[in-house]
Structure 1
Amino acid sequence: MTRYFYLHGFASGPESAKAKYLRGCFQRLGLELICPDFNEPDFSSLTFSRQVAQVEAQLTDEPTIVIGSSLGGLTAAWLGQRNPQIQKLVLLAPAFEFLAQWLPRMDDSALAQWQQAGFRPVYHWRDRDFRPLHWQFVEDLHRWQDQDLKRSLPTLILHGTADEVIDFAASERFAVQRPWVTLQALTSDHALGNVSSQIWRACRQFAELSVCDRGALSQKSIPGNRLS
Protein backbone atom coordinates (compact mmCIF):
# COMPACT_ATOMS: atom_id res chain seq x y z
CA MET A 1 0.00 0.00 0.00
CA THR A 2 1.29 3.45 -0.89
CA ARG A 3 1.91 5.92 1.93
CA TYR A 4 1.44 9.68 1.55
CA PHE A 5 3.21 12.54 3.32
CA TYR A 6 2.64 16.30 3.38
CA LEU A 7 5.59 18.46 4.52
CA HIS A 8 4.75 21.99 5.64
CA GLY A 9 6.80 25.08 4.94
CA PHE A 10 9.27 27.12 6.97
CA ALA A 11 7.86 28.66 10.16
CA SER A 12 4.52 27.01 9.53
CA GLY A 13 2.95 23.81 10.83
CA PRO A 14 0.91 20.70 10.04
CA GLU A 15 -2.33 22.66 10.66
CA SER A 16 -1.64 25.19 7.91
CA ALA A 17 -4.42 25.94 5.44
CA LYS A 18 -2.85 23.80 2.69
CA ALA A 19 -2.17 20.91 5.05
CA LYS A 20 -5.73 20.86 6.38
CA TYR A 21 -7.22 21.18 2.91
CA LEU A 22 -5.16 18.36 1.42
CA ARG A 23 -5.63 16.14 4.46
CA GLY A 24 -9.37 16.53 4.05
CA CYS A 25 -9.12 15.66 0.35
CA PHE A 26 -7.18 12.50 1.14
CA GLN A 27 -9.60 11.55 3.93
CA ARG A 28 -12.51 11.72 1.50
CA LEU A 29 -10.72 9.07 -0.55
CA GLY A 30 -10.20 6.93 2.55
CA LEU A 31 -6.45 7.70 2.59
CA GLU A 32 -4.18 8.99 5.35
CA LEU A 33 -1.96 11.98 4.67
CA ILE A 34 0.88 11.99 7.22
CA CYS A 35 1.87 15.53 8.25
CA PRO A 36 5.01 15.71 10.42
CA ASP A 37 5.51 18.77 12.64
CA PHE A 38 8.93 20.30 11.99
CA ASN A 39 8.56 22.56 15.03
CA GLU A 40 9.24 19.60 17.30
CA PRO A 41 10.98 19.52 19.69
CA ASP A 42 11.28 23.31 19.22
CA PHE A 43 11.53 25.84 16.41
CA SER A 44 14.65 27.61 17.68
CA SER A 45 16.90 24.58 17.10
CA LEU A 46 15.46 23.80 13.66
CA THR A 47 17.85 22.68 10.94
CA PHE A 48 17.22 21.31 7.48
CA SER A 49 19.09 18.14 8.41
CA ARG A 50 16.70 17.65 11.33
CA GLN A 51 13.71 17.95 9.00
CA VAL A 52 15.08 15.32 6.63
CA ALA A 53 15.94 12.95 9.49
CA GLN A 54 12.53 13.43 11.10
CA VAL A 55 10.71 12.23 7.99
CA GLU A 56 13.19 9.45 7.26
CA ALA A 57 12.50 8.06 10.74
CA GLN A 58 8.83 7.66 9.70
CA LEU A 59 9.47 6.01 6.34
CA THR A 60 8.97 2.28 5.84
CA ASP A 61 9.81 0.05 2.90
CA GLU A 62 6.37 0.72 1.41
CA PRO A 63 6.10 2.86 -1.73
CA THR A 64 5.68 6.51 -0.78
CA ILE A 65 4.54 9.75 -2.41
CA VAL A 66 5.60 13.02 -0.79
CA ILE A 67 3.95 16.43 -1.18
CA GLY A 68 5.99 19.35 0.14
CA SER A 69 5.38 23.08 0.39
CA SER A 70 8.14 25.73 0.26
CA LEU A 71 10.98 24.49 2.52
CA GLY A 72 8.94 21.31 2.90
CA GLY A 73 9.18 21.01 -0.88
CA LEU A 74 12.95 21.23 -0.73
CA THR A 75 12.87 18.65 2.05
CA ALA A 76 10.75 16.37 -0.14
CA ALA A 77 13.24 16.71 -2.99
CA TRP A 78 16.09 15.58 -0.76
CA LEU A 79 14.06 12.74 0.69
CA GLY A 80 13.41 11.54 -2.85
CA GLN A 81 17.12 11.75 -3.61
CA ARG A 82 18.05 9.62 -0.59
CA ASN A 83 15.19 7.11 -0.26
CA PRO A 84 14.33 4.71 -3.12
CA GLN A 85 10.90 3.83 -1.72
CA ILE A 86 9.77 7.36 -2.57
CA GLN A 87 8.24 7.00 -6.03
CA LYS A 88 6.81 10.46 -6.79
CA LEU A 89 7.11 14.03 -5.55
CA VAL A 90 4.70 16.96 -5.69
CA LEU A 91 6.47 20.21 -4.82
CA LEU A 92 4.43 23.35 -4.06
CA ALA A 93 6.47 26.54 -4.50
CA PRO A 94 9.59 24.60 -3.47
CA ALA A 95 12.35 26.56 -1.76
CA PHE A 96 15.09 26.01 -4.31
CA GLU A 97 17.95 28.52 -3.95
CA PHE A 98 16.50 29.29 -0.51
CA LEU A 99 19.50 30.95 1.13
CA ALA A 100 20.38 32.85 -2.05
CA GLN A 101 16.90 34.38 -2.04
CA TRP A 102 16.33 34.79 1.71
CA LEU A 103 19.62 36.06 3.13
CA PRO A 104 20.01 39.07 0.77
CA ARG A 105 16.80 40.49 2.26
CA MET A 106 18.84 41.16 5.43
CA ASP A 107 21.64 43.70 5.44
CA ASP A 108 25.19 42.71 6.32
CA SER A 109 24.96 44.09 9.85
CA ALA A 110 21.82 42.07 10.61
CA LEU A 111 23.46 38.89 9.36
CA ALA A 112 26.62 39.59 11.37
CA GLN A 113 24.54 40.24 14.49
CA TRP A 114 22.62 37.00 13.98
CA GLN A 115 25.85 35.03 13.62
CA GLN A 116 27.42 36.70 16.65
CA ALA A 117 24.38 36.51 18.93
CA GLY A 118 23.47 33.00 17.84
CA PHE A 119 19.73 33.68 17.58
CA ARG A 120 17.50 35.95 15.50
CA PRO A 121 13.73 36.49 15.82
CA VAL A 122 11.82 35.06 12.84
CA TYR A 123 8.11 35.52 12.27
CA HIS A 124 6.31 32.21 12.76
CA TRP A 125 3.11 31.96 10.74
CA ARG A 126 1.55 29.26 12.87
CA ASP A 127 2.19 31.08 16.14
CA ARG A 128 1.51 34.55 14.66
CA ASP A 129 4.48 35.86 16.61
CA PHE A 130 8.25 36.05 16.41
CA ARG A 131 10.30 33.05 17.52
CA PRO A 132 14.10 32.83 17.90
CA LEU A 133 16.00 30.78 15.32
CA HIS A 134 19.61 29.68 15.79
CA TRP A 135 22.30 30.62 13.27
CA GLN A 136 22.98 26.89 12.89
CA PHE A 137 19.94 26.80 10.58
CA VAL A 138 21.93 28.81 8.01
CA GLU A 139 25.18 26.93 8.48
CA ASP A 140 23.46 23.57 8.13
CA LEU A 141 21.50 24.53 5.02
CA HIS A 142 24.71 25.48 3.20
CA ARG A 143 25.54 21.75 3.17
CA TRP A 144 22.51 20.92 1.00
CA GLN A 145 23.13 22.09 -2.56
CA ASP A 146 20.35 21.94 -5.15
CA GLN A 147 22.73 20.83 -7.89
CA ASP A 148 23.22 17.54 -6.05
CA LEU A 149 19.57 16.55 -6.59
CA LYS A 150 20.12 14.14 -9.47
CA ARG A 151 17.83 11.15 -8.96
CA SER A 152 15.49 10.59 -11.92
CA LEU A 153 12.20 10.64 -10.02
CA PRO A 154 8.78 11.65 -11.38
CA THR A 155 8.31 15.13 -9.96
CA LEU A 156 5.53 17.69 -10.37
CA ILE A 157 6.24 21.29 -9.38
CA LEU A 158 3.34 23.71 -8.91
CA HIS A 159 4.61 27.28 -8.52
CA GLY A 160 2.93 30.68 -8.60
CA THR A 161 4.25 33.17 -11.14
CA ALA A 162 3.71 36.02 -8.63
CA ASP A 163 5.62 34.27 -5.82
CA GLU A 164 7.12 36.99 -3.62
CA VAL A 165 9.19 34.60 -1.46
CA ILE A 166 10.75 32.05 -3.84
CA ASP A 167 11.06 33.33 -7.38
CA PHE A 168 9.26 31.21 -9.97
CA ALA A 169 12.50 31.31 -11.97
CA ALA A 170 14.18 29.11 -9.32
CA SER A 171 11.80 26.28 -10.22
CA GLU A 172 12.34 26.98 -13.92
CA ARG A 173 16.11 26.65 -13.50
CA PHE A 174 15.67 23.42 -11.53
CA ALA A 175 13.21 21.84 -13.99
CA VAL A 176 14.95 22.72 -17.23
CA GLN A 177 18.01 20.64 -16.27
CA ARG A 178 15.95 17.61 -15.19
CA PRO A 179 13.77 15.91 -17.83
CA TRP A 180 11.87 13.93 -15.16
CA VAL A 181 10.44 17.18 -13.70
CA THR A 182 7.16 18.79 -14.83
CA LEU A 183 6.72 22.45 -13.90
CA GLN A 184 3.23 23.91 -13.91
CA ALA A 185 2.81 27.67 -13.56
CA LEU A 186 -0.09 28.92 -11.45
CA THR A 187 -1.52 32.41 -11.24
CA SER A 188 -0.79 32.87 -7.55
CA ASP A 189 1.68 34.02 -4.91
CA HIS A 190 3.80 31.94 -2.52
CA ALA A 191 0.85 30.90 -0.36
CA LEU A 192 -1.04 29.43 -3.34
CA GLY A 193 -4.20 30.11 -1.38
CA ASN A 194 -6.37 30.93 -4.40
CA VAL A 195 -5.56 27.74 -6.34
CA SER A 196 -6.28 25.00 -3.79
CA SER A 197 -8.65 23.11 -6.09
CA GLN A 198 -6.12 23.25 -8.94
CA ILE A 199 -3.45 21.87 -6.64
CA TRP A 200 -5.67 18.99 -5.55
CA ARG A 201 -6.67 18.11 -9.13
CA ALA A 202 -3.02 18.08 -10.17
CA CYS A 203 -1.98 16.00 -7.13
CA ARG A 204 -4.82 13.53 -7.66
CA GLN A 205 -3.98 13.05 -11.33
CA PHE A 206 -0.22 12.86 -10.84
CA ALA A 207 -0.49 10.40 -7.93
CA GLU A 208 -3.20 8.43 -9.78
CA LEU A 209 -5.61 8.59 -6.85
CA SER A 210 -9.09 7.15 -7.37
CA VAL A 211 -12.23 8.87 -6.21
CA CYS A 212 -14.00 5.97 -4.52
CA ASP A 213 -17.17 7.79 -3.53
CA ARG A 214 -17.89 9.39 -6.90
CA GLY A 215 -17.09 6.67 -9.37
CA ALA A 216 -14.01 6.23 -11.51
CA LEU A 217 -12.48 9.27 -13.16
CA SER A 218 -10.24 9.23 -16.18
CA GLN A 219 -6.65 9.40 -14.92
CA LYS A 220 -3.69 10.44 -17.03
CA SER A 221 -0.12 10.86 -15.95
CA ILE A 222 1.15 14.37 -16.48
CA PRO A 223 4.04 14.21 -18.98
CA GLY A 224 7.51 15.11 -17.86
CA ASN A 225 9.94 17.73 -19.14
CA ARG A 226 7.32 20.41 -19.63
CA LEU A 227 7.33 24.04 -18.54
CA SER A 228 3.84 25.54 -18.50
Structure 2
Amino acid sequence: MSTPPPVPAPTGPRWLYLHGFASGPDSKKGVEVARHYASQGIHVERLNLRVPSLEELRVSAMLETVRKALGGPEERAVLFGSSLGGLTAARMAEQDARVCALVLLAPAFRVVEQLRRRMGDAGWEHWKKVGWIETDDFAEKRKVRIHSGFIPDAEAVDAKSGGWPDVRVPTLIIHGRADDTCDVRYSRQWAEGRRHVHLVEVDDGHELTASLPRILSESEAFLRPWGAGS
Protein backbone atom coordinates (compact mmCIF):
# COMPACT_ATOMS: atom_id res chain seq x y z
CA MET A 1 0.00 0.00 0.00
CA SER A 2 1.47 3.32 -1.05
CA THR A 3 2.13 6.04 1.50
CA PRO A 4 0.09 9.21 0.91
CA PRO A 5 2.18 12.28 0.06
CA PRO A 6 2.83 14.70 2.95
CA VAL A 7 0.55 17.68 3.27
CA PRO A 8 2.54 20.79 2.34
CA ALA A 9 3.04 23.35 5.08
CA PRO A 10 1.24 26.68 4.67
CA THR A 11 3.35 29.17 2.69
CA GLY A 12 2.06 32.18 4.58
CA PRO A 13 -0.58 33.32 7.03
CA ARG A 14 -4.29 33.28 6.33
CA TRP A 15 -5.75 36.73 5.84
CA LEU A 16 -9.22 37.32 7.29
CA TYR A 17 -11.49 40.38 7.18
CA LEU A 18 -13.96 40.93 10.06
CA HIS A 19 -16.82 43.33 9.34
CA GLY A 20 -18.57 45.54 11.86
CA PHE A 21 -21.92 45.73 13.64
CA ALA A 22 -24.94 45.69 11.27
CA SER A 23 -22.56 45.24 8.34
CA GLY A 24 -21.59 42.12 6.42
CA PRO A 25 -18.88 40.37 4.39
CA ASP A 26 -19.73 42.44 1.30
CA SER A 27 -19.06 45.79 2.98
CA LYS A 28 -17.31 48.38 0.83
CA LYS A 29 -14.12 48.33 2.93
CA GLY A 30 -13.99 44.54 3.02
CA VAL A 31 -14.47 44.23 -0.73
CA GLU A 32 -11.85 46.89 -1.48
CA VAL A 33 -9.31 45.34 0.90
CA ALA A 34 -9.86 41.91 -0.66
CA ARG A 35 -9.61 43.29 -4.22
CA HIS A 36 -6.42 45.19 -3.43
CA TYR A 37 -4.60 42.21 -1.99
CA ALA A 38 -5.96 39.78 -4.59
CA SER A 39 -3.93 41.76 -7.14
CA GLN A 40 -0.85 40.71 -5.12
CA GLY A 41 -1.85 37.05 -5.03
CA ILE A 42 -3.14 37.25 -1.42
CA HIS A 43 -6.60 35.89 -0.71
CA VAL A 44 -8.48 37.83 1.98
CA GLU A 45 -11.37 35.76 3.32
CA ARG A 46 -14.30 37.99 4.30
CA LEU A 47 -16.03 36.28 7.20
CA ASN A 48 -19.75 36.45 7.93
CA LEU A 49 -20.01 37.53 11.58
CA ARG A 50 -23.78 37.99 11.66
CA VAL A 51 -23.98 35.10 14.13
CA PRO A 52 -26.07 33.37 15.21
CA SER A 53 -28.07 36.06 13.34
CA LEU A 54 -27.97 39.83 13.28
CA GLU A 55 -31.06 39.93 15.49
CA GLU A 56 -29.40 37.61 18.05
CA LEU A 57 -25.89 38.98 17.57
CA ARG A 58 -23.32 37.78 20.12
CA VAL A 59 -19.65 38.75 20.37
CA SER A 60 -18.86 35.30 21.79
CA ALA A 61 -20.32 33.68 18.65
CA MET A 62 -18.32 36.06 16.46
CA LEU A 63 -15.14 34.99 18.25
CA GLU A 64 -15.97 31.32 17.73
CA THR A 65 -16.54 31.92 14.01
CA VAL A 66 -13.13 33.57 13.72
CA ARG A 67 -11.48 30.80 15.74
CA LYS A 68 -12.80 28.15 13.35
CA ALA A 69 -11.52 30.16 10.36
CA LEU A 70 -7.95 30.36 11.68
CA GLY A 71 -7.12 26.90 10.34
CA GLY A 72 -4.92 24.21 11.82
CA PRO A 73 -2.77 24.45 14.94
CA GLU A 74 0.38 25.28 12.95
CA GLU A 75 -1.18 27.99 10.82
CA ARG A 76 -1.00 31.74 11.36
CA ALA A 77 -3.41 34.53 10.48
CA VAL A 78 -3.47 38.25 9.75
CA LEU A 79 -6.74 39.83 10.85
CA PHE A 80 -8.38 42.97 9.51
CA GLY A 81 -11.21 44.14 11.75
CA SER A 82 -13.65 47.03 11.34
CA SER A 83 -15.54 48.54 14.29
CA LEU A 84 -17.05 45.61 16.27
CA GLY A 85 -14.99 43.35 14.02
CA GLY A 86 -11.94 45.29 15.20
CA LEU A 87 -12.75 44.55 18.81
CA THR A 88 -13.35 40.90 17.89
CA ALA A 89 -9.99 40.74 16.09
CA ALA A 90 -8.19 42.19 19.11
CA ARG A 91 -9.89 39.79 21.52
CA MET A 92 -9.04 36.90 19.19
CA ALA A 93 -5.38 37.92 19.16
CA GLU A 94 -5.49 38.02 22.95
CA GLN A 95 -6.83 34.46 23.09
CA ASP A 96 -5.15 32.64 20.19
CA ALA A 97 -1.44 32.58 19.35
CA ARG A 98 -2.18 31.80 15.70
CA VAL A 99 -2.98 35.50 15.16
CA CYS A 100 0.28 37.16 14.13
CA ALA A 101 -0.77 40.70 13.11
CA LEU A 102 -3.77 43.03 13.29
CA VAL A 103 -5.12 45.90 11.21
CA LEU A 104 -7.95 47.57 13.15
CA LEU A 105 -10.25 50.10 11.48
CA ALA A 106 -12.10 52.29 13.98
CA PRO A 107 -12.16 49.46 16.54
CA ALA A 108 -15.06 49.36 19.01
CA PHE A 109 -12.97 49.17 22.18
CA ARG A 110 -15.12 48.99 25.35
CA VAL A 111 -18.14 48.48 23.11
CA VAL A 112 -20.80 48.41 25.85
CA GLU A 113 -19.50 51.62 27.37
CA GLN A 114 -19.51 53.31 23.96
CA LEU A 115 -23.00 52.07 23.09
CA ARG A 116 -24.39 53.32 26.37
CA ARG A 117 -22.73 56.70 25.91
CA ARG A 118 -24.27 57.09 22.46
CA MET A 119 -27.75 55.92 23.46
CA GLY A 120 -27.99 57.81 26.74
CA ASP A 121 -29.27 56.33 29.98
CA ALA A 122 -32.93 56.44 28.92
CA GLY A 123 -32.32 54.69 25.61
CA TRP A 124 -30.10 52.12 27.29
CA GLU A 125 -32.67 51.24 29.92
CA HIS A 126 -35.39 51.08 27.25
CA TRP A 127 -33.31 48.54 25.28
CA LYS A 128 -32.89 46.37 28.35
CA LYS A 129 -36.54 46.67 29.41
CA VAL A 130 -38.20 46.12 26.02
CA GLY A 131 -35.70 43.45 24.98
CA TRP A 132 -34.71 44.84 21.60
CA ILE A 133 -33.59 47.97 19.84
CA GLU A 134 -34.26 48.87 16.21
CA THR A 135 -31.33 49.83 14.03
CA ASP A 136 -30.30 49.88 10.37
CA ASP A 137 -29.01 46.72 8.73
CA PHE A 138 -26.50 48.20 6.30
CA ALA A 139 -25.86 44.90 4.54
CA GLU A 140 -29.48 44.07 3.71
CA LYS A 141 -30.82 47.66 3.62
CA ARG A 142 -33.59 47.09 6.15
CA LYS A 143 -34.53 47.79 9.73
CA VAL A 144 -33.67 45.11 12.26
CA ARG A 145 -34.30 44.54 15.96
CA ILE A 146 -31.18 43.63 17.95
CA HIS A 147 -31.96 41.55 21.03
CA SER A 148 -30.78 42.92 24.38
CA GLY A 149 -28.94 39.65 25.02
CA PHE A 150 -26.11 41.32 23.11
CA ILE A 151 -25.38 43.41 26.22
CA PRO A 152 -24.46 40.77 28.85
CA ASP A 153 -22.60 38.70 26.28
CA ALA A 154 -20.49 41.68 25.16
CA GLU A 155 -19.94 42.69 28.79
CA ALA A 156 -18.64 39.21 29.63
CA VAL A 157 -16.23 39.19 26.68
CA ASP A 158 -15.05 42.76 27.24
CA ALA A 159 -14.59 42.45 31.00
CA LYS A 160 -11.40 40.44 30.53
CA SER A 161 -8.01 42.03 31.20
CA GLY A 162 -9.52 45.14 32.73
CA GLY A 163 -11.79 45.93 29.78
CA TRP A 164 -8.94 46.34 27.29
CA PRO A 165 -7.67 43.58 24.95
CA ASP A 166 -4.25 42.30 26.03
CA VAL A 167 -2.70 42.13 22.57
CA ARG A 168 0.98 41.33 22.09
CA VAL A 169 1.22 41.17 18.28
CA PRO A 170 2.06 44.01 15.85
CA THR A 171 -1.04 46.14 15.39
CA LEU A 172 -1.98 48.96 13.05
CA ILE A 173 -4.99 51.12 13.95
CA ILE A 174 -6.58 53.56 11.52
CA HIS A 175 -9.21 55.75 13.15
CA GLY A 176 -11.09 58.88 12.12
CA ARG A 177 -10.91 61.97 14.30
CA ALA A 178 -14.55 62.77 13.42
CA ASP A 179 -15.83 59.30 14.34
CA ASP A 180 -19.07 59.78 16.31
CA THR A 181 -19.70 56.03 16.71
CA CYS A 182 -16.42 54.73 18.12
CA ASP A 183 -14.59 57.64 19.71
CA VAL A 184 -10.96 57.90 18.62
CA ARG A 185 -10.00 58.64 22.23
CA TYR A 186 -10.45 54.95 23.06
CA SER A 187 -7.92 53.97 20.38
CA ARG A 188 -5.54 56.63 21.65
CA GLN A 189 -5.84 55.35 25.19
CA TRP A 190 -5.31 51.73 24.17
CA ALA A 191 -2.34 52.51 21.91
CA GLU A 192 -0.54 54.68 24.46
CA GLY A 193 2.56 52.97 25.81
CA ARG A 194 2.23 49.95 23.49
CA ARG A 195 5.33 50.03 21.30
CA HIS A 196 3.93 47.31 19.03
CA VAL A 197 0.84 49.41 18.21
CA HIS A 198 0.88 52.09 15.50
CA LEU A 199 -2.09 54.48 15.50
CA VAL A 200 -2.85 56.48 12.35
CA GLU A 201 -5.48 59.20 12.74
CA VAL A 202 -7.30 60.46 9.67
CA ASP A 203 -9.75 63.28 8.98
CA ASP A 204 -12.74 61.02 8.50
CA GLY A 205 -15.81 59.57 10.21
CA HIS A 206 -16.64 56.06 11.34
CA GLU A 207 -17.10 54.50 7.90
CA LEU A 208 -13.61 55.60 6.76
CA THR A 209 -14.76 55.46 3.14
CA ALA A 210 -12.85 58.62 2.22
CA SER A 211 -9.75 57.06 3.75
CA LEU A 212 -9.73 53.81 1.73
CA PRO A 213 -6.59 54.74 -0.25
CA ARG A 214 -4.84 55.55 3.04
CA ILE A 215 -6.05 52.27 4.58
CA LEU A 216 -4.63 50.30 1.65
CA SER A 217 -1.28 52.09 1.58
CA GLU A 218 -0.77 52.04 5.34
CA SER A 219 -1.78 48.38 5.68
CA GLU A 220 0.41 47.35 2.77
CA ALA A 221 3.48 48.99 4.30
CA PHE A 222 2.66 47.58 7.73
CA LEU A 223 2.02 44.04 6.47
CA ARG A 224 5.09 43.76 4.25
CA PRO A 225 6.68 41.21 6.63
CA TRP A 226 3.64 38.97 6.01
CA GLY A 227 3.78 39.14 2.22
CA ALA A 228 2.07 42.43 1.32
CA GLY A 229 3.45 44.56 -1.46
CA SER A 230 5.07 41.66 -3.31
TM range (shorter): 0.7 to 0.9
The separation in 2 between residues aligned to 1:14 and 1:34, in whole angstroms, is 9
Give the C-alpha shift of residue 151 in structure 1: 3.4
The number of residue pairs the alignment matches comes to: 212
**1:19 is aligned to 2:30:** yes
TM-score (norm: length of structure 2): 0.86
Deviations 1:103-133, CA, capped at 9 Å, x for gaps: 1332444333322332221221112221111
Give the C-alpha shift of residue 100 in structure 1: 1.6
Residue identity in the other structure for 2:38 = Q
Q: Which residue of 2 aligns with 1:57?
A: 68
Alpha carbons of structure 1 residues 177 and 99: separation in structure 2 relative to 1, 3 Å: farther
The separation in 2 between residues aligned to 1:92 and 1:162, in whole angstroms, is 14
Q: Which residue of 1 aligns with 2:16?
A: 5
**1:72 is aligned to 2:88:** no
Give the C-alpha shift of residue 148 in structure 1: 4.6
Q: Which residue of 2 aligns with 1:164?
A: 180
Q: What stretches of structure 2 of length at least 5 have no aligned partner?
A: 1-11
Q: What stretches of structure 1 of length at least 5 have no aligned partner?
A: 213-228
Contact 2:34 2:43 in 1 (8 A): yes
Q: Which residue of 2 aligns with 1:44?
A: 55
Alpha carbons of structure 1 residues 175 and 211: separation in structure 2 relative to 1, 3 Å: closer
Note the 1:58-207 alignment, pairs <5 A. 58-60=69-71, 61-143=74-156, 144-145=158-159, 147-207=163-223
Contact 2:83 2:107 in 1 (8 A): yes
The separation in 2 between residues aligned to 1:91 and 1:101, in whole angstroms, is 17
TM-score (norm: length of structure 1): 0.87
Give the C-alpha shift of residue 187 in structure 1: 1.5
The separation in 2 between residues aligned to 1:73 and 1:7, in whole angstroms, is 7
Deviations 1:21-60, CA, capped at 9 Å, x for gaps: 0110111111110111112442111111111111101112
Alpha carbons of structure 1 residues 40 and 142: separation in structure 2 relative to 1, 3 Å: closer
The separation in 1 between residues aligned to 2:135 and 2:58, in whole angstroms, is 14
Q: For structure 1, which segment, 98-107 or 73-82, has the greater mean C-alpha deviation from structure 2 after superposition?
A: 98-107
Deviations 1:166-196, CA, capped at 9 Å, x for gaps: 1111100000042221111111111111111
Which ranges of 4 or more aligned residues in structure 1 deviate by more than 4 Å?
A: none
The separation in 2 between residues aligned to 1:196 and 1:148, in whole angstroms, is 27
The separation in 1 between residues aligned to 2:54 and 2:140, in whole angstroms, is 11
Residue identity in the other structure for 1:186 = V
Q: Which residue of 1 aligns with 2:7?
A: none
Give the C-alpha shift of residue 134 in structure 1: 0.9
Give the C-alpha shift of residue 62 in structure 1: 1.0
Residue identity in the other structure for 1:43 = L
